[in-house]
A and B are shown apart, each in its own frame.
Chain A
Amino acid sequence: MDSKRKILDAIARHKHPPVPLPDLDRLGFISGDQVAAFTATLTAIGGRSFQLGGKMAIAEKVRELWGGRGRVITTLDYLADVGEQVFPGDIIPQRLHDVELAIIEARYAVAENGAVWIPEVLMGHRIVPFICQHLAVVVPIGAILPTMHDAYRLIGSEQYGFACFIAGPSKTADIEQALVLGAHGPRTMTVFILVETT
């Protein structure tokens, strides 16, 4: 408590003229094909995407890409055939150390930087999108937004214990600026853009 008082008092000693907060409405507003832009950016940062018509097509694509390649976990019920279901609450994170592939859902995707927004409730457990060797994320095509401003406008005051923007596979360039994918997190990142057919 003592130090808190000390710090706040030290700050309060300096009087500053009031500075208004700027208007964020001046920012963003990009027109054009956002799906194409998202795909191009994601590819440029080392990820890949597939546009698929319907949930069954996703299950099929997963089998095609990763069939028989080790432990697969998912939070999505329509993928129960291809991976073990994980439910929030019953996970000891260390036990996920051998997960080869995790397939989860993202709420939004951002075209300008290739990132997807995943709140904790969609992860199963916070560690899931980080500990797997490969990460696949499903995003509805209508959830692809132009900029970060659009994303935060929609996120609004959503409550979460943890949430993350994830843009491509884990990477590092700490050795002589040489880009290496798969630093500590997933080695690959795949985004399934879901086009719902009626």
Chain B
Amino acid sequence: MDHASLASTFNKDEPRVDWHDESLWWVRQKRDLQARSVADWEVLREVASAIKNNVLANLGTYLQAFESHAIKRGIVVHWAADAGEHNAIIHRILEENRITAMVKSKSMLTEECGLNAYLADRGIHVVDSDLGERILQLADERPSHIVMPAIHKKKEEIGELFHEFLGTPKGESDPQRLTEAARLHLREVFLTRKAALTGVNFAIAETGEFVVCTNEGNADMGAHLSDVHIASMGIEKLIPQREHLGVFLRLLARSGTGQPITTYSSHFSGPRQGQQMHIVIVDNGRSTQLGRADFKASLKCIRCGACMNTCPVYRRSGGYSYRTTVAGPIGSILAPNLDMRDYADLPFASTLCGSCTNVCPVKIDIHEQLYKWRQVLAKEGHVAHSKSLLMKGAAAVLSRPSWYQVSGKLLRWFLRHFPKIASKFTKWSDHRELPEAPKQTFAGWYKQNRVERNG
């Protein structure tokens, strides 16, 4: 199913779409308040963008520097070319330590790699500890948003899940009480797990340390109570120096959730005594994207989610209609890199309004890349036949004035006599009436009026 069809399904429940739309717009407004409260906001964005451009130009050097510093600090560094290797490395670490249960904080990379399912097949039980992710794990669903994974779920639905799995009273839907139940349940998990996996927000080449940002404190509860801490990161998470964190930590939460900073910005620089610390550095298609001049800027993304919160299409179609771990505008330029054929519809799931580009903290030209992907996909033959045929037809007609005049006449006649059929041809007109066809063309009108006046 493509984005348009999945969005149609989502749009069947209109009040729910409105609620989804408003929830995200509220977060966007909180972001605006924060951005306006920082006097040097635009300079900050420019600096962040420049740092990330520097990273992309020197990625290999920074990765090697990061590795050598991390090793010196007692961290074990692993390299994974793809998702399968990432999963196998983590499985091997757990197996070597005879560990069969792990607690995990939010990591979109492990979602991308399908880690939970891989480990479950091998008898390893993983508990997600971010509240939103835990809710979805109980519901057997995937995150619909990278920062607010359960943004599509109603509190009553969460209450039902918690009643079934955590024993909360039937009908309980108060967020405070539900969160308390999850807190008690997960505390027990944190205290008993020997292994913890976290994501990585930033990895610093100069020092070999990595920074994990959470509001809940779940990454820290897992990591500091574990004997084995594993951190998974994509190769694009590198930044050159520690002082650059000042730039990104000022931008990340303000852009993502409208907070001045996340509650916790944890700097891991080595295991504590008796602990193992592992980092898995993952490529999984990123180096291919680095080679696409028009699209490599997508690797600057710091996963704040601002482009989703502001996107009129995302807000009204929901994260699941994108079928990818990272949904929304940024996801739509990342996904075709991995599989052009499967995700050829995503760059078209946009109005190209440019709002994503305007809020992006690292100034990725998201809507321009969406537009460029459309051209690449059409050239490579990945665009739906009806769409490319229509475009070819339009090109033929528009380049021949006589064809244009005849087709205009035909179309006006057709629209006057069969308006209902005409609107069936395009998704765009699902919820829109076609305008009434004028009786006369402008050219015709002009000729007529000129003649009259001249006469």
Contact = CB atoms under 8 A, between A and B. Distances in A.
Interface of A: 3-4, 6-8, 10-14, 16-22, 24, 26-28, 30, 41, 44-45, 89, 93-94, 97, 112-115, 120, 125-127, 130-131, 147-149, 151-153, 155, 157, 159-178, 180, 182-186
B175 A176 contact: yes
Interface of B: 23, 26-27, 38-40, 43-44, 46-47, 50-51, 53-54, 56-57, 59-60, 63-64, 67, 73, 79-81, 85, 129-132, 135, 148-151, 153-155, 158, 175-176, 178-180, 183, 186-187, 190-191, 207, 215-218, 220-221, 223-225, 235, 240-247, 249-250, 257, 259-273, 281, 283, 287-288, 290-291, 296
A115 B261 contact: yes
> What DSSP secondary structure best describes chain A's contact surface?
loop
B233 to A, nearest CB: 12
Contacts of B131: 172, 174-175, 183
B155 A175 contact: yes
B85 A20 contact: no
Given A7-B63, A184-B187, 13 more contacts: A6-B283, A10-B290, A20-B50, A24-B243, A30-B39, A93-B225, A126-B224, A163-B269, A176-B155, A182-B179, A183-B183, A184-B183, A184-B216
Contact of B60 (A11, A17, A30): A11
Given A130-B224, A157-B242, A184-B190, A166 B250 contact: no
Contact of A7 (B73, B79, B221, B250): B79
Contact of B217 (A14, A21, A184): A184
Nearest to A175: B175
A24 B221 contact: no
14 contacts: A7-B79, A7-B235, A11-B59, A16-B57, A24-B47, A28-B246, A93-B224, A126-B223, A157-B207, A161-B269, A176-B153, A183-B183, A184-B187, A185-B217
A161 B271 contact: yes
B246 A97 contact: no
Given A184-B183, A184-B187, A167 B263 contact: yes
Nearest to A160: B269
Contacts of A12: 60
Contacts of B38: 112
B249 to A, nearest CB: 6
Contacts of B153: 175-176
A11 B244 CA distance: 23
Given A93-B224, A177-B23, A172 B260 contact: no
Contacts of B56: 16, 19
Contacts of B23: 176-177
Given A3-B85, A157-B242, A183 B216 contact: yes
Given A7-B81, A12-B60, A180 B175 contact: yes
B252 to A, nearest CB: 11
Contacts of A94: 191, 225
B263 A170 contact: yes
A21 B175 contact: no
Nearest to A17: B57
A89 B274 CA distance: 11
Given A170-B216, A170-B263, A174-B148, A183 B179 contact: yes
Given A16-B56, A151-B246, A174-B148, A162 B268 contact: yes
Contacts of B59: 11
Contacts of A178: 155, 175-176
A191 B242 CA distance: 26
A169 B224 contact: no
A90 to B, nearest CB: 11
Given A174-B150, A175-B175, A4 B79 contact: yes
Nearest to A165: B265
A10 B79 CA distance: 13
Given A16-B57, A21-B240, A93-B224, A7 B287 contact: yes
Contacts of B217: 130, 170, 183-186
Contact of A165 (B129, B247, B264): B264
